[in-house]
Amino acid sequence: QVQLVESGGGLVQAGGSLRLSCAASGSIFIINVMGWYRQAPGKQRELVAAITSGGSTNYADSVKGRFTISRDTRKNTVYLQMNSLTPEDTAIYYCNADLIGTTYYRNSYWGQGTQVTVSS
């Protein structure tokens, strides 16, 4: 069993900042990629940012220059620093981990989601 626990969401004014955290725990052998996705009301879930075990990152065009993803591999934790937030960033943010478990099967896991609301 693998669990992803997110924290750090909340309500912030436009131009403000938030930092999301996601800790993975359980029967983990190695985590390949950790990432953040978001889903706004009436929209599809989209990739926000991802980071590999080697530290390579990928960002959605809409957040480049404003968001920074980082990872503590020893703690199996990923962070998303979000700056210069706009109301368009309002969504539920989900953590995702692409990993190999202790049974050596590869699978993808999701967190429960954390709400980010940016007021204008």
Look at the alpha carbons of 60, 62, 65, 66 in this order and tell me if their dihedral is positive or negative. negative
**Secondary structure element (H or E) that encloses residue 35, with its range:** strand 28-39
Q: Are 82 and 19 in contact (CB under 8 A)?
A: yes
**Residue ranges in the chain modelled with pLDDT below 70:** none
Alpha-carbon span 97 to 95, nearest angstrom: 7
pLDDT at 18: 98
pLDDT in tens, 100-114: 988 889 999 999 999
pLDDT at 104: 86
Give the three-state DSSP class for 73: coil
pLDDT at 4: 97
Q: Tell me how many degrees the CA angle 69-87-115 measures, rounded to the nearest 5.
A: 60
